[in-house]
Amino acid sequence: MQRVTARAHANIALVKYWGKRDTTLNLPAVGSLSLTLEALSTTTTVAFCPDFERDRIVFEGEGATHTPRIVAFLDRVRRLAGLKMPAEVTTANNFPTGAGLASSASGFAALALAATRAAGLDLEGSALSRLAREGSGSAARSIFGGVVAMHAGDQDDGRDAVAEPVLSPGAWPLAVVIAVTAAGPKAVGSTAGMNRTRDTSPFYPAWVASHADDLDEARRAIAARDLTALGAVTEHSCFKMHGLMLSARPPLLYWNPLTVALVQKVATLRQEGLEAYCTIDAGPQVKVLCRADAAAEIEAILGAEPGVVRVLSSRLGPGAHVVP
Ligand code: PMV
């Protein structure tokens, strides 16, 4: 029996993924582009053992439990490795899971690496990204560090729906400041929200059709290390996604009044000369893209806003790795 521990970091999409072309394999309808965050990680240990009666999953510290999804994911790894044994999984996030920050990306990326290695498989890079995607769409991106692009792909088996690294963590000193505006789980989970949007929004075809242009624009901005251009497409993709969500029936409104106040605050900071750009996922937290050397100031400003629960800040971090 081999016990393997792996760590993976959360990521925040600048060009957003919303919508699946296949729900079983988690195949995205659109590509995406994200930053992997050093400060937010999941550490997971996996061991397969014939003596265990069934899969045992232990969440250390405060933890949301995704037990059925984890067992289904372990089944995929067992099929790949030709194993029949149950597994013991111990997993811990170093960031508050109850705070509505996406933990499924770092969680399934760490699980993909630890479980495959514990099962004697040596998946790396895009093969590991493909497997992680089957646990959670955004987890495919957390396999890599720095700036990461996820391909929608067009193959039915998902072999080309994988992420790839675009820039290493040290190549451009960016940071993300996260303002938590409310604790608690999201109102509608992302899979249900995505399917509702695809099935009911008249804007969904336009969202899919206009996505490649946003990705191209972001890639050009990154190649030129142009934060102003990257920030503009980041905010456009975020607000286009939330407009799309609002156009579903019934509508998906993930924001609260403080979310709106912080979006306006960030726009004011920009007018005052502090480069900062908002992005928001399927929840009310506001994530702010900025230069690494501006993060402390932005953290202090957002932390002083009435009602903000807590503020976290992170530079770009590494991809999933085995912890000795
Ligand atoms: O793969 P999921 O279920 O974590 O969905 C991610 C959806 C968004 O966070 C809203 C956007 C994104 O690209 O991360």
pLDDT tens for 229-253 read 999 999 999 999 999 999 999 999 9
- Both structure tokens of 32: 């995406």
**Structure confidence at residue 103 (pLDDT):** 82
Instruction: State the closest ligand 1 atom to the C-alpha of 190, by its place in the atom list counted from 1.
Output: 3
- Both structure tokens of 59: 């969440």
- Both structure tokens of 175: 């940071």
Instruction: State the closest ligand 1 atom to the C-alpha of 17, by its place in the atom list counted from 1.
Output: 13
> Residue 302: pLDDT above 70?
yes
Strand order in the sheet with 277-279: 277-279, 286-291, 174-180, 310-315
Residues having CB within 6 Å of any atom of ligand 1: 13, 16-18, 32, 102, 104-105, 136-138, 190, 281-282
3-class SS of residue 134: helix
**Structure confidence at residue 65 (pLDDT):** 59
Distance 1 CA to ligand 1 centre (A): 34
Distance 35 CA to ligand 1 centre (A): 13
- Both structure tokens of 122: 């040596």
Question: CA 314 to CA 176: how far, in whole Å?
Answer: 5
3-class SS of residue 99: helix
Which of 9, 12, 15, 16 to probe ligand 1 with, by most ligand atoms within 8 A of CB? Answer: 16
DSSP assignment of 171-219: SS-EEEEEEE---S--SS-HHHHHHHHHHH-TTHHHHHHTHHHHHHHHH
> Residue 64: pLDDT above 80?
no
- Both structure tokens of 104: 């499924």
The closest alpha carbon to 33, from 221, 274, 254, belongs to 221
The closest alpha carbon to 267, from 245, 293, 238, belongs to 238
DSSP structure class, residue 316: B
- Which of 72-76, 92-96, 153-157 comes out lowest in average pLDDT? 92-96
**Summary mean pLDDT of the chain:** 95
- Which of 60-69, 94-103, 132-141, 291-300 comes out lowest in average pLDDT? 60-69
Which of 66, 138, 188, 194 to probe ligand 1 with, by most ligand atoms within 8 A of CB? Answer: 138
**Structure confidence at residue 232 (pLDDT):** 98
> Residue 63: pLDDT above 60?
no
Which of 14, 17, 103 to probe ligand 1 with, by most ligand atoms within 8 A of CB? Answer: 17
Reported as a single tens digit per residue, the pLDDT across 201-215 is 999 999 999 999 999
The closest alpha carbon to 230, from 292, 290, 144, belongs to 290
The closest alpha carbon to 48, from 83, 6, 7, belongs to 83
Question: CA 262 to CA 154: how far, in whole Å?
Answer: 37
- Both structure tokens of 117: 């290695």
**Structure confidence at residue 95 (pLDDT):** 87
Nearest CA to ligand 1 atom 8: 281
Predicted TM-score of the model (pTM): 0.96
